C-alpha cells in the first residue's frame, strides 16, 4: 500500500497547490492531478478488476454511441437540471421503455448521466461533453469508422510479421474496411463519415492547448513581413475547410497580407465564400504554386505519412520558400523520449492503423526536416498532451 499512500500525499499536495498557484500554473497542476488520480485508481485495483476494466472498456463506447444516436445527452442538457424519467425519455426518443431503462442504467454506471432517483436522470459533465459537436461527431466517427480499423490492427501486424507499417494502401484500414482504396478516398465516398471527420477535426483541439496561446504569430510572422496586402502571409496546406486560418485572423486581426487555404477538390467544394482566406485546390504532392509566402502551415499532415512521402511533400514546399524569409510551421505532436502522454500514444496507434503513419519524437523531426534542407529554429510546446509548433526555415 506504499504506492497508494504516496499517491494520496501527491494528490493532497497538488490539490493545495491549485489553490495557491498563479493562474498560469493552474492548467499544468490540473493535468498533474488528473494523472495522479488515474494512477491511484490503478493502484487500488486488484488484478482481476484491472482485466475487467480493460476488456469491458468498449461497452462504455457502445452505450455512449447508442445515446448519441437517440439524442439522450442533448435532451438531458436541454432539461437544465430538471430530472427526466425513463418513461419521459422513452416518449421523446421513441425507444422501447424496457430497452431504454437498460441503456440509461449503463450510462449512469459510468457517470455518463446522473441517476438522482429510481429511473430519474439528469445531465453530468460527461453528458454535456457528448452533447457538443465534438462529442457527437467523435462518437460517430470513431465507433462507425475508426473502430473497425483498430480492431483489424492486431491481425494485420501479425500477418506482416510485426513490421512497422509505412504503406497507406497496405494498412489495417484496408483489412478492417475490406477495401483496396486509400482510407481518405474510401471516407470521401460516404458523406456522413466525411462530415463527422471534418467536424471532429475542427473541434479536436477543445480540451487541449491552443497553439496561438503560446506561439506569438504577430512577432514571428508579422514582424519582417514584406510585400504589402497583395503578398501572402500564410498558406494553410491541406487545411480542410479553413478553421485554422479563421483562428489565426481572429486572434491576430491586424496581421496583413493574403491567407490561402489549400486542399483537394472535394474538400474545397465544401468551403463557402470567406472574407478571411482564398480557397485553392492543391495536392501537396505536386508543385506548390504559391511562391515566397511568409509561412507555409501544416496541421496534422505529416503524421499521416511515412518519412519518404513526407520528404516528397516537404520538397514541393521548400522549392517555393524564400531563404531567410519564408517559414515552415508544423502543428503536430512532438513525442518526448520518455513519459509520453496517453493522447500522444493513442494518436500514434490511430495513425498507424488508419494510414500507416506515425507521431514523431523530437529527434525524428530534426532528422526528417534536415534531410530536405530545412533547419528547425524552435519547437514551441506548452503542454505534453497537446500539439507543438515546429518552426523551420531553409538552411543558410
Bridge pairing between strands 258-263 and 334-335: unpaired
Cβ atoms within 10 Å of 258's Cβ, excluding its own: 18
Told to judge if 243 belongs to the known catalytic residues of this protein, a careful annotator would answer no
**H or E segment at 360?**
strand 360-361
The whole-angstrom separation of Cα 76 and Cα 84 is 7
The whole-angstrom separation of Cα 262 and Cα 271 is 11
Between the CA of residue 95 and those of 70, 89, 140, 329, 356, what are the distances in Å? 8, 8, 19, 49, 40
**H or E segment at 237?**
strand 232-237
Give me the numbers of helices (H) and strands (E) for the chain, helices first please: 19, 12
Nearest Cα neighbor of 335 from 355, 321, 352 is 352
Determine phi and psi for 92, rounding to 5 degrees. -70, -40
Bridge pairing between strands 278-281 and 295-299: unpaired
The whole-angstrom separation of Cα 234 and Cα 294 is 6
Enter the C-alpha cell of residue 273: 465564400
Selecting among 175, 243, 282, 303, the annotated active-site residue is 303
DSSP, res 71:
T
Positions marked active-site: 303
Amino acid at each position: 500500500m506504499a504506492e497508494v499512500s504516496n499517491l494520496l500525499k501527491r494528490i493532497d499536495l497538488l490539490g493545495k497547490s491549485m489553490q495557491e498557484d498563479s493562474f498560469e500554473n493552474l492548467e499544468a497542476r490540473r493535468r498533474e492531478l488528473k494523472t495522479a488520480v488515474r494512477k491511484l485508481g490503478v493502484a487500488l485495483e486488484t488484478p482481476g478488476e484491472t482485466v475487467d476494466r480493460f476488456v469491458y472498456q468498449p461497452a462504455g463506447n457502445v452505450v455512449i454511441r447508442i445515446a448519441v444516436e437517440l439524442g439522450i445527452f442533448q435532451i438531458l442538457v436541454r432539461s437544465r437540471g430538471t430530472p427526466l424519467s425513463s418513461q419521459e425519455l422513452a416518449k421523446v426518443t421513441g425507444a422501447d421503455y424496457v430497452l431504454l431503462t437498460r441503456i440509461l442504467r449503463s450510462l449512469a454506471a459510468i457517470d455518463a448521466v446522473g441517476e438522482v432517483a429510481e429511473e430519474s436522470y439528469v445531465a453530468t459533465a460527461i453528458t454535456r461533453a457528448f452533447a457538443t459537436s465534438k462529442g457527437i461527431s467523435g462518437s460517430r466517427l470513431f465507433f462507425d469508422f475508426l473502430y473497425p480499423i483498430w480492431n483489424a490492427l492486431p491481425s494485420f501486424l501479425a500477418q506482416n510479421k510485426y513490421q512497422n507499417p509505412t504503406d497507406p494502401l497496405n494498412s489495417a484500414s484496408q483489412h478492417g474496411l475490406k477495401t483496396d482504396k486509400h482510407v481518405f478516398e474510401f471516407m470521401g465516398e460516404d458523406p456522413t463519415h466525411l462530415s463527422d471527420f471534418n467536424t471532429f477535426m475542427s473541434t479536436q483541439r477543445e480540451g487541449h492547448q491552443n497553439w496561438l496561446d503560446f506561439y506569438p504569430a504577430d512577432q514571428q510572422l508579422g514582424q519582417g513581413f514584406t510585400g504589402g496586402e497583395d503578398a501572402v502571409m500564410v498558406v494553410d496546406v491541406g487545411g480542410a475547410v479553413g478553421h485554422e486560418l479563421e483562428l489565426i485572423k481572429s486572434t491576430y486581426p491586424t496581421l496583413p497580407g493574403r491567407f490561402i487555404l489549400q486542399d483537394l477538390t472535394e474538400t474545397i467544394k465544401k468551403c463557402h465564400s470567406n472574407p478571411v482566406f482564398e480557397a485553392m485546390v492543391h495536392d501537396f504532392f505536386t508543385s506548390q504554386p504559391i511562391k515566397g509566402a511568409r509561412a507555409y502551415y501544416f496541421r496534422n499532415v505529416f503524421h499521416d505519412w511515412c518519412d519518404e512521402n513526407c520528404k516528397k511533400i516537404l520538397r514541393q514546399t521548400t522549392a517555393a520558400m524564400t531563404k531567410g524569409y519564408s517559414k515552415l510551421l508544423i502543428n503536430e505532436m512532438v513525442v518526448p523520449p520518455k513519459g509520453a502522454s496517453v493522447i500522444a500514444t493513442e494518436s500514434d496507434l490511430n495513425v498507424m492503423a488508419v494510414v500507416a503513419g506515425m507521431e514523431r519524437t523530437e529527434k525524428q523531426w530534426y532528422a526528417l526536416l534536415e534531410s530536405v534542407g530545412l533547419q528547425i529554429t524552435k519547437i514551441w510546446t506548452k503542454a505534453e498532451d497537446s500539439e507543438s509548433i515546429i518552426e523551420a526555415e531553409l538552411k543558410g
